[in-house]
């Protein structure tokens, strides 16, 4: 008989139909390749330091979320290219949730004190989050193009090739502008045929176009909604950047980063970068 607490059974019996024999069937662990995934955490500290596993899991899970983020960004870009706006907006909605998860998980790493981090930092050697290829792919897809970043991956020909390709392709925003042009909006021609390896810079005529959209949202609802989705994505990205800066500052102060950057000061400069400048500039016009 099941053990009871206050007269209520404290055991849940397995239902008769629940699969228990996986000798010839696929299990949860098989499908997710958990044998591979959970063996990838290999701390290097000697003697072993308790907090190194936290550091590894934090960054490995971030890379998994970045992988999904890239999957959604590439799809959203392709859908805009095909003028299929509704599913593109669905992708952008999911992108925002992924971004929020990435930002929220900084709170776990923030439990690492300076003293605890000092115990594991020597074992990181010259490795650094600055070297995350997937993060650079996300930035390139969103429009923060920087050819110098490609050279960081000269040691990895496959990764370098992926970044080189993204560097010379239109970003998500570029595809949105091309979509607008195909819908009859007066997007300046110079924005539709340019050197995609350069970051987009603010264009006053494009601000004028968006001012028209925001002056009559109901008449331009699809465009209006997409503009706001893009602003949400940039806002979430900036929150991630700022939370990253905060965590780094509380853990290492103003030390030089393991990858050789200036650390906090380097991260702070990134806060001035913007993907969709006109979508912020147009806000000054609204209601005037």
**Residue list, annotated binding site for heme:** 244
In angstroms, rounded to a whole number, what is the distance separating the alpha carbons of residues 165 and 160?
A: 9
Strand partners, 8: 5
3-state secondary structure of 67: helix
- ω before 140 within 30° of 0 (cis)? no
How far apart, in Å, are the Cα atoms of 207 and each of 10, 47, 280? 64, 58, 9
Sign of CA dihedral 212, 215, 219, 222: positive
- Token pair 């955490």 is found at 41
- Please state, as a whole number, how many other Cβ atoms lie within 10 Å of the Cβ of residue 93: 14
Nearest to 229 by CA among 78, 139, 94: 94
- CB neighbour list of residue 234: distance below 8 Å, 6 or more residues apart: 142, 274, 275, 276, 279
Q: Could you tell me which residues are annotated as the binding site?
A: 55-59, 117, 121, 244, 258
94: buried, middle or exposed (CB in 10 Å: 19+, 13-18, 0-12)?
A: middle
**Side-chain half-sphere of 201: how many Cα atoms within 13 Å?**
5
**122-126-127-131 Cα dihedral, nearest 10 degrees:** 160
Nearest to 191 by CA among 179, 207, 174: 174
Q: Could you tell me which residues are annotated as the binding site for substrate?
A: 55-59, 117, 121, 258
């Amino acid at each position: 008989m099941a053990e009871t607490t206050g007269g209520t059974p404290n055991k849940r019996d397995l239902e008769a139909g629940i699969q228990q024999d996986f000798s010839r069937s696929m299990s949860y662990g098989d499908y997710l390749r958990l044998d591979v995934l959970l063996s990838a955490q290999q701390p290097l500290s000697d003697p072993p330091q308790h907090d190194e596993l936290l550091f590894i899991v934090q960054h490995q899970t971030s890379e998994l979320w970045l992988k999904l983020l890239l999957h959604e960004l590439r799809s959203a870009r392709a859908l805009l290219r095909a003028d299929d706006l509704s599913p593109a907006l669905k992708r952008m909605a999911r992108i925002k949730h992924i971004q929020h998860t990435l930002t929220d998980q900084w709170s776990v790493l923030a439990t690492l004190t300076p003293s605890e981090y000092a115990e594991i930092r020597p074992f990181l050697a010259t490795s650094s989050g600055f070297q995350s290829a997937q993060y650079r792919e996300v930035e390139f897809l969103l429009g923060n193009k920087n050819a110098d970043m490609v050279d960081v991956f000269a040691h990895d020909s496959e990764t370098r090739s992926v970044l080189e390709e993204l560097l010379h392709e239109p970003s998500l925003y570029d595809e949105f502008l091309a979509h607008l042009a195909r819908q009859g909006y007066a997007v300046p021609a110079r924005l539709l045929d340019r050197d995609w390896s350069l970051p987009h810079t603010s264009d006053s005529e494009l601000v004028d176009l968006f001012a028209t959209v925001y002056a009559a949202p109901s008449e331009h609802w699809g465009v209006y909604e997409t503009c706001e989705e893009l602003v949400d994505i940039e806002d979430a990205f900036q929150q991630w950047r700022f939370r990253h800066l905060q965590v780094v500052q509380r853990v290492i102060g103003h030390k030089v980063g393991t990858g050789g950057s200036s650390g906090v000061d380097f991260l702070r400069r990134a806060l001035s970068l913007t993907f969709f400048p006109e979508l912020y500039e147009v806000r000054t016009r609204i209601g005037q």
